[in-house]
Chain A
Amino acid sequence: MAGTALRGRLTWRVATVATVADETDHVRTITLDLPDWPGHHAGQHLDVRLTAEDGYSAERSYSIASADGEAVAITVERLDDGEVSPYLTQELRPGDQMEARGPIGNWFTWEPHDGGPLLLIAGGSGVVPLRAILRHHQRTGSNVPARLLYSARSLEDVIYRRELDQYGGSAEVRYTLTRRQPPGWGGFSGRIDDAMLARIAWPASQSPLAFICGPTPFVEAVAELLVARHYPTRRVKTERFGGA
């Protein structure tokens, strides 16, 4: 028992920024040098703590963007009225320090033995933990069929686009663009609805495993559509985000 409790204990570690890379004009991926990181499951979080010179500190929780075995990365979307995300996406540079603790959360996670087929549905920056799942899926050579349906405002808002377009055989990636579509756009347009899911969602008879991540209203709407398509609620895992 004591061992179990200890393993679960959270400690803040000093993290040093290794790289920063812009994904879109308001989204940035930050890789962290985190000595003694214990490893993580795809879909887990880490908490970040920033401390100002006057002692003021702020904590936020982010999905881990990388797969286990890769450098720990987070992907942060800038919210203009925020206090932390503008700092992380604009001010931060390699060599800077912060604190981090994790990994956190054992529910919204996927390992190959959890099976599938996998249906991943992302709204905006909700793609981050789902990207970690796709990378883990690929790195482990899983033969579980996987599909990602990613709802973004426009093609310019798609995070990880080059990577997602490369999955090819191991996972199918489809986009729906809700605000603006480029000329000749061949993907989906508009909000996710039942007709779109009829073409993308595995039939419930295949006992698929669904992960939905995005802003609260997005997640609620998609989860409801999947339950209406007879997905058991236990096989529809959800994660909502919002706020600064």
Chain B
Amino acid sequence: MALDGNAIGGMLLEIFATDMTSAEATCARCGAVRPVAEELVYLRGPGTVVRCRRCTSVLMVISRVRGLNCVDLSGMEALEVKAASD
């Protein structure tokens, strides 16, 4: 069952070195804009898949291969990181 982007906050912070749960993702297929925290997340596969909550198309895939994170962001038209508030 899908969780949400809150569940991968640590992994995303490790990769991007800034909080990504509050970053705004724009779906390349349907255009929906939503914080990553609220997107669908499938954790229990070989890698991690983030999908658009509106149209379910793939936004982000993260696979960890021999200790290196491979990140595909091509399912997003934009990923806007909010300025740190603290």
A residues near B (Cβ < 8 Å) are 4-10, 41, 45, 47, 59, 61, 101-102, 104-108, 216-217, 237-243
Contact = CB atoms under 8 A, between A and B. Distances in A.
Given A104-B9, A108-B37, A243 B44 contact: yes
Nearest to A244: B44
B4 A47 contact: no
Could you tell me the dominant secondary structure of chain A's interface residues? mixed
B18 A4 contact: yes
Contacts of B37: 105, 107-108, 237, 239
Interface in B7-34: 7, 9-10, 13-14, 16-19, 21-22
Nearest to B15: A10
A242 B43 CA distance: 11
Contacts of A239: 4, 6, 37
Interface in B35-86: 35-38, 43-44, 82, 84-86
Contact of A216 (B2, B5, B17, B36): B2
Nearest to B10: A47
Contacts, number: 78
Shortest beta-carbon contacts, A-B, top 9: A107-B37, A105-B9, A104-B9, A47-B10, A106-B19, A8-B18, A107-B21, A107-B22, A106-B22
Interface of B: 1-7, 9-10, 13-14, 16-19, 21-22, 35-38, 43-44, 82, 84-86
Contacts of B85: 106
A106 B43 contact: no
A45 B84 contact: no
Given A5-B18, A104-B19, 19 more contacts: A8-B13, A8-B16, A8-B18, A10-B13, A10-B14, A41-B86, A61-B9, A101-B10, A102-B10, A104-B21, A105-B9, A105-B22, A107-B36, A108-B21, A216-B2, A217-B1, A238-B38, A240-B4, A241-B3
